[in-house]
Chain A
Amino acid sequence: MTFRTNYTVNRTPRFSLLSEDQKARIFRGVIKTLNDTGANVHHEKVRELLANNRCKVDGKRVRIPPEVVRDALASLPPTTTIYSWDGQEEMCYVEPGRSYFGPGPTPPNFIDTETLERRPYQRKDATIVARVCDALPNIGYVQSLGSIDDVTHALSDVYEFADMIQNTRKVIMNWAFSEENVRDEHRIGIVMAGGEEAFKRYPNFIHYSEPISPLTSDFDAIGKCYYCAQHRIPQVYTPCSIGGATVPATHAGQIITAMSESMVGVVVSQLLNPGTCILIGGVQSILDMRRTIYSYGAPELSIMSAAFTEMLNYVGLPMYSTAGCTDTKKMELQSGIEAAFSIHMAMMSGANFVHDNGYTESGITGDVFQTVMDDEIIGMSRLICGGVEVNEETLAVDEICNVGPGGHYLYEDHTMKWFRKHWQPTLMDRNSYEDWDAQGRLTMKDRIIKKTRDIIENHEGPISKVPNEAKKDIEKILDEAEERVRSKSK
């Protein structure tokens, strides 16, 4: 192929909201907020760490000077790799512009995959979500879409992770109520990796926890952050900021507040263990000022998430973004519109991990059917963001001249080689009217349900490959956790 000098390649769509000057101003806002006002940190051990490292501590309030923020950002890892639990496959490679989409954590309700009715999330649902996500090609990592109601409540996080990691080889992003429960989950991760050294070399989960807007790190959230940093567990430390309620109503002000809250976690993690992976970002949306709900379908969610992603690229942090979610209660046109918009925006922004694919009812109900629909949208968006490849071969001038006027390309080797790069729908209907009619006039909803149930029925996931020893060890961890909860309640 000919090499051309001064050749500019514009391979993918370029999407940018903020100018260099705007980014610098927003970042100075973060620096000033942390230095002048700081955040409340409800954890003595963490405050001590910060006080010993040039931060100003006054009661619960911690003020972080610019140089401490600068040093933390300088010690972040340029990349981190997270593996399948058997350590055999690189599942997530964290670097700017590489996007993984997945569900979200902890809604109380779930859409039952048999009855399609909304009900409390049950233990069996965690396995369903893990297996469905395992089968979906465009879902890059897994969260549970719920908080299990039918086990000991204080351990629903641990049960969920124990079940999920055995049912998918994709990276799980788990959550926990407390530092103790993260420890249980860490032990499960170690068992699955085949030992402590193996886990260190091939970490197999990312831990999710959240500070509270405005500017508050509560005991459990920052305690979990501390534990993960100590053990070099990749983690997310992001708030769910409510524009106009817990943070300013302006997008720039919201990003400053949310970024400042998370920066506490970034500083703590890098002080404890320089180079450990931490993502920030979170859910950035608005309070619907008529209905007092936190909107998961608002266009503001997408524009703020995209701007936040740019800000994090600017300072060298990976972004945990939000998309594929909806405010509707049942699968309908609105779910598709909101999901398509937010997924494409997140993809174009180049966020690293994009969560909440499968959130309905404004984050109150998890719906794996929505995740299945989102998988299709992600595929379409990925094709668009793949851009137009321009080189001698794709220009195809020789082929054009060979075929000439009035010919066709169906016999061409060039076509044989390239046509499979066209995106193939698995849910979108492209049948002729007659075929559509003959196949039962299925709607999008029908096709989503059919595909989801097919996966649940036929895709087993890696459960049979989990060593029996590991299964037993996990049972033991769960039993010990139960015992701990029992002894506490006595």
Chain B
Amino acid sequence: MAVDLGKMADLLIAGKVEDVSNMTQEAIDEGLKPQEILDKGLIAGMDVVGQRFKACEMFIPEVLRSAKAMSAGMDKLRPLLSESEAKAAGTFVIGTVKGDLHDIGKNLVGMMFEGAGFKVVNLGIDLDTQVFVDAVKEHKPDLLGMSALLTTTMPRMGEVINALKEAGIRDQVKVMVGGAPVTEEFAKEIGADIYGANAASSVDKGREAIGK
């Protein structure tokens, strides 16, 4: 029996992580094109999730569960996508800067990006500047996200941007910053490309900035 991509989308909307993962594998085994599975299954489902979220019919925990299902499907598909197709999905590296153990906002943003089909590398918290630089070199992300909740740790984000310049890789990546005390002005001041005011708008702004 042919795999029903519409059903896959429904499972994704319902946040059935394992089912979506298994069904993606079945679809691959049946010989469906990876791009077709992505477009008609996963992305079709996430589009509905996005609409329902905006209409206040779905809420963050449900969206994140769907995002996790999306990500589980992407993990199966990514190795099979052509280089250009995989690149189209985008890679996002995110972490909390040195001296800050606050975790939740950054995780939320990471999860939302997963829902948008990005490969997300979550570096963790309390990170040395060099960890960000190394991660940009290693993962070659389209976007680098940094978070801080403390006014004392906010300047570390500027230090990371400077370190990227020194390493000669600043132009390879768009930098997004966020966290409760971070403002649009601060983002500009330290030379970030994008200010992420909240998780949902971060994804929209991030996509816009890299043209995806």
Among the stretches B9-17, B53-61, B65-73, B74-82, the one at the interface with A is: B53-61
In the bound complex, what is the Cα–Cα distance between A153 and B181 (angstroms)? 13
The answer to whether A291 and B198 have CB atoms under 8 Å apart is yes
Q: CB-nearest residue of chain A relative to B54?
A: A290
**B167 at interface by CB-CB < 8 Å:** no
Q: Given A108-B183, A153-B152, A289–B60 Cβ distance below 8 Å?
A: yes
A42 at the interface (CB under 8 A from B): yes
With A108-B151, A147-B151 as contacts: A293 and B101 at CB distance below 8 Å: no
In the complex, the answer to whether B104 meets A293 with C-beta atoms within 8 Å is: no
Q: A108-B151, A153-B152, A289-B61 are in contact. Are A245 and B104 (CB under 8 A)?
A: yes
Output the least CB separation between B203 and chain A (Å). Answer: 12
Q: Within 8 Å of chain A (Cβ to Cβ): is B199?
A: yes
Alpha-carbon separation in the docked complex, A244 to B60 (Å): 10
Tell me whether A154 and B108 are in contact (CB under 8 A). Answer: no
Residues of B with C-beta under 8 A to A216: 101
Closest Cβ neighbor of B180 among chain A residues: A364
Q: Give the size of the chain B interface in residues (CB under 8 angstroms).
A: 20
A250 to B65 Cα, complex, angstroms:
19
In this assembly, does B102 line the interface, its C-beta being within 8 Å of a C-beta of chain A? yes
Set of chain B residues within 8 Å of A218, measured between Cβ atoms: 101
Distance of A483 from chain B, by nearest CB (Å): 18
CA distance A244 to B108 in the complex (A): 12
Task: Please judge, given known A-B contacts A42-B101, A108-B181, A147-B181, whether A290 and B152 are in contact too, CB under 8 Å.
Answer: no
B124 touches A (CB below 8 Å): no
Write the nearest CB–CB distance from B21 to chain A, whole angstroms. Answer: 25
B199 partner residues in chain A, CB cutoff 8 A: 292
**How far apart are B60's CB and chain A's nearest CB, in angstroms?**
4
B155 within 8 A of A: yes
Q: Is B200 an interface residue (CB 8 A)?
A: yes
Cα A246 to Cα B53 in complex, Å, equals 21
* A residues near B183, Cβ cutoff 8 Å: 108
Cβ of A325 within 8 Å of any chain B Cβ, yes or no, is no
- Best-surrounded residue of B61, B152, B198 (most CB of chain A within 10 A): B152
Write the residues of chain B forming the contact surface with A, with a CB cutoff of 8 angstroms. 53, 56, 59-61, 101-104, 108, 150-152, 155, 180-181, 183, 198-200
23 A–B contacts from the bound complex (CB under 8 Å)? A108-B181, A153-B151, A154-B152, A156-B151, A177-B152, A212-B101, A212-B102, A216-B101, A218-B101, A244-B61, A245-B104, A246-B103, A246-B104, A289-B59, A289-B61, A290-B53, A290-B56, A290-B59, A291-B198, A292-B60, A292-B199, A364-B180, A364-B181
For the complex with contacts A290-B56, A290-B60, 10 further pairs of A-B residues with Cβ separation under 8 Å are A106-B151, A156-B151, A177-B152, A212-B101, A212-B102, A246-B103, A287-B60, A289-B59, A289-B61, A292-B198
